[in-house]
Structure formats: structure tokens, C-alpha cells
Structure 1
Amino acid sequence: MKLPYATNALEPAISRHTMELHHGKHLATYVANLNELIAGTEYEKMPLEEIMTKASGPIFNNAGQMLNHNLYFTQFSPHGGGSPKGALGKAIERQWGSFENFKTEFIKRGTALFGSGWVWLAQAEDGTLLILQEAGGNNPIAKGQTPLLGFDVWEHAYYLDYQNRRAEHLSALWGVVHWPTVEKRYEVRP
């Protein structure tokens, strides 16, 4: 996927150098690996979301990381920040009492995830909002849930800019979240 902004557009939250490495090298490797792994298989023509529900092993891992990064890079904007409005904002307030409480819990869960992975705001099939810790390249889609917002806690996503200060990295990302994009992923359910 092509970035919807310049590689330096999210500074200081994400530096140009980190973006070039993260998007230009890590994501490119997942794409190349997946393309090689699925060539001539039943997965070759499947969308990533379907691969995530059917595959395992290296195909699952590389498809997961491709999907995760597609969601990740498209949820940010140099004009991001603030808080969600409308139905998603109201659902977050109902679930956590306030947007600030939600952010605190999200950062806490992302910081506490052992090793590499992702912290997600996801929507369960019944409409409930969840904060999930997912190891490796896992994505809520594999559990029948809808990923709304995901923060990458693999070291390649932040180490050049924040070293071992994962919580600081997570806090900085709120300033670049493009809530209209995230809100489009949310479905109001009865």
C-alpha cells in the first residue's frame, strides 16, 4: 500500500526515519513473504480478511501483518488528533466512562503486552467495544471481531524514536489518529 501522506508528515509522533523503515522495509517484507507463500495456493485470490480466518502458520502471520499495517498506516493523518465524535465517541464514553479513561486503559494494555504485538480497539459481533492485546501479527478478525483502531507495539514501530519508552510512543500516537477513518470502521448495532 502507498502511504496516504509523506514519510515525515506524522512527525514528531512518528519520525521520517521510523516511517521509512517501518513502511518501506518491514511492511514490504511481509508483502513479499506473503506473495511467495500463497503463489499457486487456495489463498492466492483471497482478500486478507479471509486469509486471516482460514490460514495458519507463516501464511497467517504474514497476512496478519499486512492487514494490520494497512489498517495502521491508514488510520493516521498529519491533521489527526482530538477524539471520536458521533456514535463511536458515545460508545467509548458508555464503555469506559470517558475518552480519557479509554486512552489510559488502551495505553496500559499496550504497554503491558509482553513482547511484540498489537493493542486494538475492536468491536465484538454483539457490538460491544473491547481493548485487546494480540501477540505477533494476530488481528481481531481471526476471532470474528472488527478491528477499529490498532497501535503497533513491535519495537520496529517505535524504537528509533522512543527506545524502550513504549508508553510514550503510544501516548504520542493519539495526536495523529484520524478519527473519521476509524469511525468508518465502526458499525452501530442494536
Structure 2
Amino acid sequence: MYVLPELPYAHDALEPVVSAETLRTHHGKHHKAYVDKTNELSAKAGLAGRPLEEVVREARRTGDQKLFNNSGQAWNHAFFWECMTPDYQPPSGELAQAIDRAFGGLAGLKEAFVTEGVNHFASGWAWLLAGADGLKVTSYHDGDSPIVHEDGVPLLVCDVWEHAYYLDYKNDRKGFIERWFDQAVNWAFVEAQLTAANGQGQPFRYPAPERDAPSGGAGAAPSAPR
């Protein structure tokens, strides 16, 4: 059984960039719904118990669009939570150097990232990836994810579905992404992903599925956090 990962911070820790109300709704309702549906659909597909990354890739390979959408969204959201922190620190070291080479500095990356997110039509995700030719910005629609493409290793993502920002920013997607980029990005996590992309350490993986326990019995699996 795939579990809803707990947030790495309190619901109100990212205010005023992201409100506690938004996080409770986004994490406890939207993300939970994707995880619950993934559990249902992966069992039907005979994929229950496999790492979520494998489920996403297999669903895409077989054309199981419902499973792909839900498992991809479950994975993307878990990655997104790690990309934010209440203790903002600007990028440094190897990451800052890579940003300088690719974008001429953090301001250049911000311009490229915000433009990509704002111009992405309808629902989706804005990504920073590390590829063979260095860092690049791209976006994917709906539940699509870089883990099923050859574009590069994901370093950073911003959710540009309306449910990620509408309670706080209404239809001002640009205002949300700009404020998010300036104040909430967890550059330490981004740097760890870059280090993994360069062959040192492991990149982010979704929490391993838990073994299902007998209903109501001793050792029953805990309910997903709200």
C-alpha cells in the first residue's frame, strides 16, 4: 500500500507564500486522493507493492492512462513538498555554479522558470532538470513526470495546477511562482538532487509501499496523515 508522505514542515510553516489552508487542502485532499486511487488501480493492474517509480513507468508503457495520471500525480506531489522549506537559503557551491553556466545567475533561472510556468497552458508542472548538457527548464502537462522521459534528472518542481495557488492568489499564477521562487525553494534539496545526478548519492524516491495488514487486526497499517 502506498502511503501519503507527511509534509516535512508544519502546515503554516510556508506562510505567507503558501497558506496553511492551501497546504491542508492540497496535501490532505488532492494528494491523498491520488495516492488512494493509485492503490486501487495498481492492485487491479497487478503492480501493487512495486516501487511507485516502477508503477508510473509501467503504466505509461502499457498505456494505462488512469493509473499513469494518478501514480504520476502521487509522485510529483511528494517531490514538490521536498522542494519547499520555511528556512530559505540561496543556492551555493556546485549548484550555484551550474546555474551560472546555464542561466547566467539566479535571476536568469528565475526568469526562465517563471516564464515556463506562466506560459504552460492549463494544468501541469514547471521543472528544473539536470541533463547531459547541463541545467534546463521545461514543463509537463497534467500527471506527466520527468521520470518517464529522457530529459534529465528532476531537481526542482513547482505545481502550476490551480489547486496549488488559487486559494491564496486567485488567478495570479505569475505572482505565485515569483513569490514561491524567491522565498520558498529548498535549494539544499535541489543541490542534493544535482549531486545524485552527477553520480554521488541517490535521487529522491517515493516512500516504499507498506505491507497491507489484516483489516482491524493487530499491526494494521496506520491511516494516511491529514
Query: Where on the TM-score scale, by shorter chain, does this alignment land: which range?
Result: over 0.9
Match of 1:139 among 141, 145, 150: 145
Specify the alignment match of 1:18 in structure 2. Answer: 22
Structure 1 contact 127–188 (Cα < 8 Å) conserved: no
Task: Give 1:39 deviation, angstroms.
Answer: 1.1
Residue aligning to 1:41: 45
> Aligned-pair distance for 1:176?
1.2
Is residue 77 of structure 1 aligned with residue 85 of structure 2?
A: yes
The answer for the alignment partner of 2:31 in structure 1 is 27
Look up the equivalent residue of 2:106 and give its one-letter code.
Answer: F
Counting matched residue pairs gives: 187
Q: Which runs of 5+ in 1 are unaligned?
A: none
* TM-score, scaled to structure 2: 0.79
| Matched AA of 1:129 | L
CA deviations 1:74-128 (Å, max 9, x no partner) are: 1211112x4211112111110111110110110011000000000000122x252
TM-score by length of 1: 0.93
Give the distance between the partners of 2:168 and 2:106, measured in 1 at CA.
26
2:166 pairs with 1:156: no
Q: What SS class does the counterpart of residue 46 from structure 1 fall into?
A: coil
CA contact (8 A) 2:56 2:72 kept: yes
Distance 1:188 1:102 in 2: 20
CA contact (8 A) 2:124 2:161 kept: yes
Distance, in Å, in 1 between the alignment partners of 2:52 and 2:91 is 27
Q: Which whole-Å CA distance do the structure 1 matches of 2:57 and 2:44 have between them?
A: 19
Deviation at 1:40, TM superposition (A): 4.9
1:99-118 equivalences in 2 (<5 Å): 99-118=106-125
RMSD: 1.3
Equivalent residue for 1:92, pick from 96, 99, 111: 99
Among 174, 191, 199, the alignment partner of 1:167 is 174
Larger Rg: 2
Query: Percent of aligned pairs with the same residue?
Result: 40
Partner-residue secondary structure (3-state), 1:123: strand
Instruction: Say which is worse superposed, 11-20 or 127-136, in terms of deviation.
Output: 127-136
CA contact under 8 A between 1:13 and 1:172: conserved in structure 2?
A: yes
Name the SS of the counterpart of 1:13 in structure 2: coil
